[in-house]
Amino acid sequence: MIMRMDFDLPSETESPTTAMDAPLSLLLSLLLLSAGPCAAQETTVTTKYGQLSGLTTDYDGVSIRAFLGVPFAKPPTGDLRFMPPVEPEPWDGVREATAFGPACPQEKMFLPGFVEPFLNSARQWSEDCLTLNVYAPVRNPSAADPLAVMVYIHGGGWQVGTGSENNGTQLAAENNVIVVTLNYRLGAFGFLGTGDQHAPGNLGLLDQRLAINWVKENIASFGGDVDRMTIFGLSAGGISVSLHLLSPLNTGLFRRAITQSGTAFTPGTLGTKESALADARRLAQSLDCDRVATEDLVSCLKSKTAQDVLTASSAVQSPSHISFTPIVDGTFLPTSPEEIFAQGSVEAREHIIGVSSMEGGIVLYNGLYEQIVSEDTFREHLEYVMGVYNSTNLVQITHAAKFEYLTNATASPRDVQKDFMRMYGDWMFVAPTTRMAREFANAGNPTYMYLFDQPPSFFDHQWIGGASHGEENYFLWPSSRSDMMTDAEKLLGLRMRRTWTDFAKTGNPNSVDLPVIWPQYDQHSRQYLVLSTTLGSDSVKAHMHSKQVFFWNYIVSALARVCCTCAGLVSGGASLWATGTLLAVWSLVVGFRAVV
Ligand SMILES: *[C@@H]1O[C@H](CO)[C@@H](O)[C@H](O)[C@H]1NC(C)=O
Ligand SMILES: *[C@@H]1O[C@H](CO)[C@@H](O)[C@H](O)[C@H]1NC(C)=O
Ligand SMILES: *[C@@H]1O[C@H](CO)[C@@H](O)[C@H](O)[C@H]1NC(C)=O
């Protein structure tokens, strides 16, 4: 077992400036001021809570001021564990912001292979982890127009990740925007909920929201434009972005959003107060805290060390049911995303939304895919992953999905695995993303949809035949692989970064570097842009995976509803009849597909 110590970072965990240091720091900043206005502007900024002193990094001759480990909340420890975040205390003097704060508590996740976007090597963590990082171009003091601001929310399935894994220097320097990355509470610390005020749940999302609010209140001091704020994220970060778009608490908080490979419709991610309470009780049981009254249960959990809570909460997880995820809590998320759209209460914002071409490559991560070699093993794994559906028609749904995707049961294991990945990717990502694009476009949000289709050349899983989950981030952020890219890949990266940042600046991703017009998505033409090194006039396509999207969004969702409308009201015969009808409709669709 790997031991992990709470991160001991004196400058972060102690009060930022002791009484004795304060006059000295003041003197130092005065000295800096007298050295010239530019030097002072480079590294010291005044926020609502006090002064910050950052450092200067450099990318391609452009200087960027980085302010790292900036607290945007009080430490969520002691009585504040499992509670919504609270604004930080102000400080006197100048606070050093030159090193990342520790990550939030997380277990090492073994992700074999090539999963750098989410790779977390035995990270040092502390429960006192609510910090953000600002990367702001050095500005000429007379520069009048403030800069667009991009706030990034990392992924990692709500269980792992940290703001420090994405270095914002390049994005900020290349395209003259301000980039902010942030930490939010993960796992039980971020998502434990008892369905009442003792642990209201969605704490990680509220952390993100408080960080975004910090940016709104303070970014002008860094040269940022509060009216041009974009939030963006990948995977669980993309789902977070999607949920922020739907939350009525966020009215007027930000203007634009980019959701990469994850939306509020992603199956199995949105729990209920009841499912959260069940998770909380299972955790409590393993820590000897199972009290009937939730107040007692939570107070017992608060008495445990962070390490104990972390270890126990990892043991509660199972691959087909991720515990400690966002829930419909009645406040941040008043009701289901479907209902929110139906009520027409979504604020109009510009939106980029997209997926990778072989999202299902994500199953490579756990190594289990090697066992998918035949029709039987295909079905077994399908039943396993479909466990996130709590539906009495699971058997029919599983059969339907197998029939839809397993094209040739006697094909090679690699082909069966590819069929499985296509199935998984459409189910988890393409179908929900398409549905979300449609809902947002219909709700009056200018929406741009993309398909990222450039499998990085430096990976040896080319056989999957597309770009896997998260691989677009190699093109948006620097990584240890950046130097391994071909010139064509580097150009694509440059174009994508320009596109993302131009969108942040203007609400339109059509930068001059894009050799094609990226049209808006609408329900009828359903156009999207294919992002690849062969970007050109034929990169605009329409109707992404249309048959499969229809299968998931109409046939399967209808199948999943059949039992609930009928159960207890009409006889089992009627229910069977309804199921039969749907299956008949579905076979027509499959038949149609075979003909096309
Ligand atoms: C971020 O990137 C810049 C530019 O490449 C580099 O100078 C800096 O050291 C990086 N920061 C970290 C923390 O890796
Ligand atoms: C599944 O649904 C049934 C009936 O609606 C409900 O009683 C049960 O608690 C659900 N199970 C889970 C794990 O959500
Ligand atoms: C299925 O795959 C096997 C093995 O590759 C091949 O021999 C056979 O022709 C395929 N059948 C169809 C219908 O494509």
Q: How many other CB atoms are there within 10 angstroms of residue 411's CB atom?
A: 15
Which pLDDT score is estimated for 159?
A: 86
Order the strands of the 131-137 sheet from edge to edge.
55-59, 62-71, 131-137, 178-182, 147-153, 224-234, 256-260, 350-356, 447-452, 527-531, 540-542
Question: How much of the chain exceeds pLDDT 90, in percent?
Answer: 70
480 in Cβ contact with 116 (< 8 Å):
yes
Atom 10 of ligand 1, residue of closest alpha carbon: 167
Instruction: Name, of 322-331, 377-386, 573-582, the range with top average pLDDT.
Output: 322-331
**Rounded CA separation 441/245 (Å):** 13
What length does the chain have?
596
Q: Which of 397, 431, 430 is nearest to 560 (CA)?
A: 397
**Rounded CA separation 306/256 (Å):** 36
* Res 77 pLDDT > 80: yes
Which pLDDT score is estimated for 268?
A: 81
What is the whole-number distance in angstroms between the Cα of residue 122 and the centre of ligand 1? 21
Summarize the confidence of residues 24-30 as an average pLDDT: 40
145-154, 236-245, 263-272, 360-369: least confidently modelled range: 360-369
195 φ/ψ angles, rounded to the nearest 5 degrees: 80, 5
Q: What DSSP state is assigned to residue 88?
A: P
What separation in angstroms does the CA of 537 have from each of 114, 452, 509, 517, 524? 32, 16, 16, 8, 21
Strands 62-71, 50-53: pairing kind: unpaired
Q: Which helix (H) or strand (E) holds 158?
A: none
The ligand whose atoms approach the alpha carbon of 409 most closely is: 3
**Rounded CA separation 158/9 (Å):** 24
77-86, 263-272, 424-433: least confidently modelled range: 263-272
Is there an atom of ligand 3 within 6 Å of 412 CB? yes
What is the whole-number distance in angstroms between the Cα of residue 382 and the centre of ligand 3? 22
Half-sphere exposure of 133 (CA within 13 A, CB side): 29
Summarize the confidence of residues 380-392 as an average pLDDT: 78
152-166, 300-314, 357-371: least confidently modelled range: 357-371
Q: Residue 108: which pLDDT band, with cuts at 50, 70 and 90?
A: confident
Is there an atom of ligand 2 within 6 Å of 390 CB? yes
* Res 246 pLDDT > 80: yes
The ligand whose atoms approach the alpha carbon of 61 most closely is: 1
- Residue burial 557-582, b: 16+ Cβ < 10 Å; e: rest: ebbbebbeebeeeeeeeebeebbeeb
The ligand whose atoms approach the alpha carbon of 166 most closely is: 1
**Rounded CA separation 552/397 (Å):** 10
* Res 184 pLDDT > 90: yes
Which pLDDT score is estimated for 558?
A: 87
What is the whole-number distance in angstroms between the Cα of residue 420 and the centre of ligand 3? 17
Which pLDDT score is estimated for 167?
A: 95
| pTM as predicted | 0.87
Residues 6+ away with beta carbon under 8 Å from 226: 146, 149, 216, 219, 220
Q: Which of the pair, 141 or 415, is modelled with greater confidence?
A: 415
Q: Which of the pair, 40 or 48, is modelled with greater confidence?
A: 48
Q: Residue 75: which pLDDT band, with cuts at 50, 70 and 90?
A: very high
What is the whole-number distance in angstroms between the Cα of residue 385 and the centre of ligand 1? 39
Q: Which atom of ligand 1 is nearest to the CA of 167?
A: 1
Is there an atom of ligand 3 within 6 Å of 407 CB? no
Q: Using CB atoms within 10 A of its CB, is residue 242 exposed (0-12), middle (13-18) or buried (19+)?
A: buried
**Rounded CA separation 423/441 (Å):** 26
What is the whole-number distance in angstroms between the Cα of residue 58 and the centre of ligand 1? 8
Instruction: Name, of 191-205, 360-374, 384-398, the range with top average pLDDT.
Output: 191-205
Mutate to test the pocket of ligand 1, among 60, 167, 181, 477 (most ligand atoms within 8 A of CB): 167
Q: Which of 158, 169, 255, 160 is nearest to 215 (CA)?
A: 255
274 in Cβ contact with 195 (< 8 Å):
yes
Q: Report all structural domains of the chain as residue ranges with CATH numbers, in order of start.
A: 10-107+124-316 (3.40.50.1820), 367-564 (3.40.50.1820)
Summarize the confidence of residues 555-560 as an average pLDDT: 87
- Residues touching ligand 1 (Cβ under 6 Å) are 57-59, 167, 169
Instruction: Name, of 151-165, 233-247, 373-387, the range with top average pLDDT.
Output: 233-247
100-109, 411-420, 435-444, 458-467: least confidently modelled range: 100-109
Q: Which of the pair, 49 or 589, is modelled with greater confidence?
A: 49
Q: Which of 537, 558, 525, 501 is nearest to 441 (CA)?
A: 525
What is the whole-number distance in angstroms between the Cα of residue 212 and the centre of ligand 1? 23
Which pLDDT score is estimated for 279?
A: 94
Is there an atom of ligand 3 within 6 Å of 594 CB? no
70 in Cβ contact with 164 (< 8 Å):
no
**Rounded CA separation 152/500 (Å):** 12
Q: Residue 520: which pLDDT band, with cuts at 50, 70 and 90?
A: very high
CA 311 to chain centre: 23
Q: Which atom of ligand 1 is nearest to the CA of 100?
A: 13
Which pLDDT score is estimated for 288?
A: 97
Summarize the confidence of residues 300-328 as an average pLDDT: 88
148-162, 309-323, 433-447, 473-487: least confidently modelled range: 309-323
Strands 147-153, 178-182: pairing kind: parallel
Which pLDDT score is estimated for 39?
A: 42
Q: How confident is the prediction for the chain on average, in pLDDT?
A: 85
Atom 5 of ligand 3, residue of closest alpha carbon: 411
Atom 9 of ligand 1, residue of closest alpha carbon: 57
* Res 150 pLDDT > 80: yes
Which pLDDT score is estimated for 370?
A: 83
What is the whole-number distance in angstroms between the Cα of residue 134 and the centre of ligand 1? 13
**Rounded CA separation 347/521 (Å):** 18
Which pLDDT score is estimated for 132?
A: 98
**Rounded CA separation 128/99 (Å):** 15
Q: How many other CB atoms are there within 10 angstroms of residue 395's CB atom?
A: 11
> In this structure, what token pair is assigned to residue 198?
């003792």
Q: Which atom of ligand 2 is nearest to the CA of 275?
A: 14
Which pLDDT score is estimated for 408?
A: 86
**Rounded CA separation 323/187 (Å):** 8
278, 385, 157, 533 alpha-carbon torsion, rounded to 10°:
-160
Mutate to test the pocket of ligand 2, among 282, 321, 390, 393 (most ligand atoms within 8 A of CB): 390
Active-site residue set: 235, 359, 469
Tens of pLDDT, residues 330-376: 999 999 999 999 999 899 999 999 999 999 998 876 667 788 889 99
Is there an atom of ligand 3 within 6 Å of 411 CB? yes
**Rounded CA separation 468/323 (Å):** 24
